[in-house]
Structure 1
């Protein structure tokens, strides 16, 4: 099975290019955001800017830059092509602040799925759609992103299929599992271009990128001298090792394939792998307890990707009871299905209890049928954003990052929250 980004992909098609609320901005900073992914067939294409909503002409669209010298370090995409990023310089009080987004796009967990990905935009920079639309926490409009609007912004593109964490290759089939090297090459390049002078830093991301954030958070912290403020934001990546509707562990099987095929176990925390199986240590619900750097977890309690791909994937939903209603629109769920979803929410809430007790941790778990909420303008900051206790996501993250207040928010169970931006689908690929 291939896990691949669709819903949160902010890109415009382009021909491949040859390698070449309130404002609190008293100090410079770096934010790293990664995006995890939707789980969809490899043949699927990225959604267009119009699919994300809004007037394309008023949005910030940023061009692509190849990471020169990456190939010499073995830092290449699945097909061996050069990786790259989209960079927009900061200005004013944000000129020495950095906000970096590590793009997500799911996983490939076996040879077949990796070969399929190799020929597409999430496995090759040849096929990658180059310009990228910066919205939500990435936008440069003060009224839409008051805390981070004028920072340097970078989206590091995702083309390895293992959360920027793989290390290995399949020489015969021409597959390069070099996610860890891509991440390192990108960090080295950005540090040489001024990021080393940042006063503050935040590593964050959505979905697959969220997993990458948690995996790299402490190592990212080590890049900067002690005075630097370093924190991490995980958005939509609290993937749970849950039981599916057939009584199996479909998500666990997928994770096992990714970890074993792409050699991800090499970068998992030894404090975890010395006591547990590497698959256990890859799941974010477990990983967050091993992160020493301040971390903010933003997640929907009824994450529709986890429902569609983990709780009721087609392979487990053999009678199709979930496929024609509940998986597509939570309002269509039966009483028995809602009961299953409430158990899933309760497991998620229980999983973050120890993490939430940490003084420097941040938490915002709303009761929405959603997936990733910081990189989309309507959920990040809009006229009617999702709220918990009248607190929106943008202000919650800003308050936590700048130490304006402690943020530990868990919503009441569905359907209590009337501010949610619940997703409604026509079909599910899972």
Structure 2
């Protein structure tokens, strides 16, 4: 690593000459240089350098980029020895806890020299009353309610990966992973009152994580990307503006942006209404209505103003909160999200009514995304994406999620709705109408054989779907129906 540090110092000096600026920070065995701006250096130089300087810098830039790529590969090789794991830190404020009263915390991988921070909120459903929380304690992984079993170190995949091949734009950011142990969709501000009670302090946990990170470099950084998946994705929507305001009050000018993965749910009616006795079958509207009181749940202030106190639970649903948010938000949402279909009690589609319900679910979700300026919504049956190693494989119009997200970030940087490059797209919503009609969707697996299968053949094998009968019910030719579902 000493050799790499020396090489880095040489490259940083060369890079500062190329771009006409110095690179701050110090070197350590966890260093990283923010090279994602390389692609935008020409635009930067337009504002800061004359034409002569630009011509000189263009000649130097390819050599610099090549050296930086070689260096990134060498640094990643060091990661295999454990240098790139995230390390557990408990909150300094010990009064902010997990459900069981154990101390909350976060995992951190420092990237000295980088002015960008990536903070990820873990997901994992929720509980909404005494019975559902007792059931969660007894049957769900205990680390979703307690920190007592958390490991000292954690690896990251997808957008959390330190590998520039897997994570081309955020591999070198300061990376923070916040485990979910509050069961409240990151909204709660309710302390534990006695040993038989539960605390619900998700919103406070996030606030205290930010407070602890300020002296570690967050205060003087440029960008904080607040991200999360599932309940963590909804947590991003709920906490985005609040986090930005908290950091401003603490004297930081960091720009806060949000990425909500698989947390944009609908408050529509279930296919088959059920009694609200457990989390996975309770209609989301009823679960959140109960939960917000149980957790002392907090919603975005501007959204809360639009509803009476008894109706503020509606702000948990992204399409209602989004128009009120001031900080920018990028939405990642499968059009046929597995969690949405589970709480809507759809079941395995075996008749026309279920197929119609599923089709309309995609239609309804697509409508809620019409005015979202940064969105990636494939027509797939899946749940969560950004922390998976293969997060680059799903595409729409030839554009992957990392590229769409990067395009969106650059549009924010330049203050434009859409960058000028024709290949740069940050609003992507599939138009095909059925689950897995996008050929790049994640493969489904036969639960009995483990074999990868496409959606329609899998449904035919598992539940004996009769495509001829369904086509007859829908007044279609069977071949046309199969083509519609698979093209």
Calculate the TM-score normalised by the size of structure 1: 0.74
Q: Which residue of 1 aligns with 2:211?
A: 188
Matched, 1:144 2:166: yes
Q: Which residue of 1 aligns with 2:396?
A: 388
Aligned residue pairs, count: 347
Distance 1:293 1:190, change over 3 A: same
User: Residue 75 of structure 1 contacts residue 182 of structure 1 at CA under 8 Å; is this kept in 2?
Assistant: yes
Q: 1:115 aligns with which of 128, 134, 146?
A: 134
Distance 1:203 1:96, change over 3 A: same
C-alpha deviation, 1:334, in angstroms: 4.8
User: Residue 363 of structure 1 contacts residue 408 of structure 1 at CA under 8 Å; is this kept in 2?
Assistant: yes
Distance 1:67 1:409, change over 3 A: same
Query: Following the alignment from structure 1 to structure 2, what is the Cα–Cα distance between the partners of residues 26 and 156?
Result: 30
Bigger Cα Rg = 2
Matched, 1:232 2:253: no
C-alpha deviation, 1:310, in angstroms: 2.4
CA offsets 1:158-194 (integer angstroms, 9 cap, x no match): 1111122112246242311222221111110011211
Distance 1:132 1:112, change over 3 A: farther
Q: Which residue of 2 aligns with 1:103?
A: 122
- Aligned to 1:377, the other structure's residue is in SS state coil
Q: Which residue of 2 aligns with 1:125?
A: 147
User: Residue 121 of structure 1 contacts residue 129 of structure 1 at CA under 8 Å; is this kept in 2?
Assistant: no
- Aligned to 1:341, the other structure's residue is in SS state helix
Query: Following the alignment from structure 1 to structure 2, what is the Cα–Cα distance between the partners of residues 233 and 216?
Result: 11
C-alpha deviation, 1:410, in angstroms: 1.0
C-alpha deviation, 1:309, in angstroms: 2.3
Matched, 1:292 2:356: no
C-alpha deviation, 1:243, in angstroms: 1.4
C-alpha deviation, 1:423, in angstroms: 4.0
Greater Cα offset, 397-406 or 191-200 = 397-406
Give 5+ residue unaligned stretches, structure 2: 1-33, 40-78, 275-281, 412-418, 449-487
Matched, 1:345 2:362: yes
Q: Which residue of 1 aligns with 2:389?
A: 377
Distance 1:207 1:425, change over 3 A: farther
CA offsets 1:237-287 (integer angstroms, 9 cap, x no match): 111112112246712111122112111146654323348712212222311
C-alpha deviation, 1:87, in angstroms: 0.7
User: Residue 118 of structure 2 contacts residue 175 of structure 2 at CA under 8 Å; is this kept in 1?
Assistant: yes
Please, what is the CA RMSD of the aligned residues? 2.7
- Aligned to 1:85, the other structure's residue is in SS state strand
Distance 1:425 1:114, change over 3 A: farther
Calculate the TM-score normalised by the size of structure 2: 0.66
Matched, 1:264 2:272: no
Query: Following the alignment from structure 1 to structure 2, what is the Cα–Cα distance between the partners of residues 25 and 117?
Result: 44
C-alpha deviation, 1:116, in angstroms: 4.4
C-alpha deviation, 1:425, in angstroms: 6.8
Query: Following the alignment from structure 2 to structure 1, what is the Cα–Cα distance between the partners of residues 182 and 404?
Result: 32
Query: Following the alignment from structure 1 to structure 2, what is the Cα–Cα distance between the partners of residues 393 and 257?
Result: 35
User: Residue 219 of structure 2 contacts residue 252 of structure 2 at CA under 8 Å; is this kept in 1?
Assistant: no
- Does 1 or 2 have the higher relative contact order (CA < 8 Å, sep 6+)? 1
- Aligned to 2:120, the other structure's residue is in SS state strand
Q: 2:242 aligns with which of 219, 225, 228?
A: 219
Query: Following the alignment from structure 1 to structure 2, what is the Cα–Cα distance between the partners of residues 169 and 147?
Result: 38
C-alpha deviation, 1:58, in angstroms: 8.8
Query: Following the alignment from structure 2 to structure 1, what is the Cα–Cα distance between the partners of residues 252 and 38?
Result: 19
Q: 1:86 aligns with which of 104, 107, 121?
A: 107
Greater Cα offset, 265-274 or 404-413 = 265-274
User: Residue 226 of structure 2 contacts residue 259 of structure 2 at CA under 8 Å; is this kept in 1?
Assistant: yes
C-alpha deviation, 1:25, in angstroms: 3.0
C-alpha deviation, 1:366, in angstroms: 0.6
Give 5+ residue unaligned stretches, structure 1: 1-21, 28-55, 313-321, 327-332
User: Residue 225 of structure 2 contacts residue 257 of structure 2 at CA under 8 Å; is this kept in 1?
Assistant: yes
Q: Which residue of 2 aligns with 1:418?
A: 439
User: Residue 300 of structure 2 contacts residue 325 of structure 2 at CA under 8 Å; is this kept in 1?
Assistant: no
- Aligned to 2:89, the other structure's residue is in SS state strand
Query: Following the alignment from structure 1 to structure 2, what is the Cα–Cα distance between the partners of residues 368 and 213?
Result: 22
Distance 1:396 1:283, change over 3 A: same
Matched, 1:397 2:405: yes
Q: Which residue of 2 aligns with 1:409?
A: 428
C-alpha deviation, 1:311, in angstroms: 3.6
Q: Which residue of 2 aligns with 1:302?
A: 336
Query: Following the alignment from structure 2 to structure 1, what is the Cα–Cα distance between the partners of residues 289 and 443?
Result: 30
Query: Following the alignment from structure 1 to structure 2, what is the Cα–Cα distance between the partners of residues 170 and 62?
Result: 29
Distance 1:423 1:96, change over 3 A: same
Query: Following the alignment from structure 1 to structure 2, what is the Cα–Cα distance between the partners of residues 408 and 348?
Result: 15
Distance 1:104 1:129, change over 3 A: farther
Query: Following the alignment from structure 1 to structure 2, what is the Cα–Cα distance between the partners of residues 252 and 279?
Result: 8
